Amino acid sequence: MVKKELKEELSEEQIAQLKRFAELPPDKKLELIEKQCIFCQISKGSIETIKVFEDSEIIVALDINPAVPGHTLIFPKKHFQFLFQISPETREKIFSTASSLSIYLVNVLKAGGFNLYVANGATAGQKMPHFVLHLIPRFDKDGLSFDWDAKKANQEELKKIAAMLKTSLEKEMGEKKKSYKEEAQAQSDSSREIERALKFRRRA
């Protein structure tokens, strides 16, 4: 399906809403986004879910529409859309929890293996603008598929991409990183974020 331009999809009232939203101060924007976000509502206790673990930073809960039995979600309590916006401490906790939980999925649920899945950005299939790590236990003939068509690569193209990533990553790793708060702020201020937030709100 061809993706329509945002303008074509919105009514006059929705465009007016978008403008009002864009003019709000950052804390009010975040407040509005959180009100529409299922994961923020779960974090605040406004929506019930079946939790496996909770502390001050993260929640581990069963997906209410699981791909397979045992499909588990791990997410930060604070509203962040992207992996890079989450504080290093919380990020570390999310992935180390996934590591521990994967052992239990295999041992307790007798899974044959597991997949970790993250959809970041609407283009990648993210349905809610709140970061979620899916931990999906796998069973023989469970019918799930994460396959894609492998394509023959051009060696020069591969080398070019690797060189670009290497330069950026080495620079990033060598520099003192911007605080995650600054990055989150910059993100919430960008017009793309506003468009995305409204798109998600319309779907909700």
How far apart are CB 43 and Zn ion at their closest, in Å? 7
N-terminal to C-terminal alpha carbon distance within the chain: 21
Q: For Zn ion, give the closer residue by CB, 79 or 134.
A: 79
Nearest to 184 by CA among 89, 82, 93, 95: 82
Number of other CB atoms surrounding residue 1 within 10 Å: 3
Binding site for Zn ion (CB under 5 A): 37, 39-40, 79, 130
Nearer to Zn ion, 21 or 104 (CB): 21
In angstroms, give the least distance from the CB of 46 to Zn ion.
12
CA distance 89 to 180: 11
d(CA 78, CA 164): 32
Residue (82 or 104) nearer to Zn ion, CB: 82
CB of residue 81 to Zn ion, shortest distance in Å: 8
- State the Cα–Cα distance between residues 83 and 81, nearest whole angstrom: 7
Q: Closer CB to Zn ion, residue 57 or residue 142?
A: 57
Least Å distance, CB 112 to Zn ion, is 33
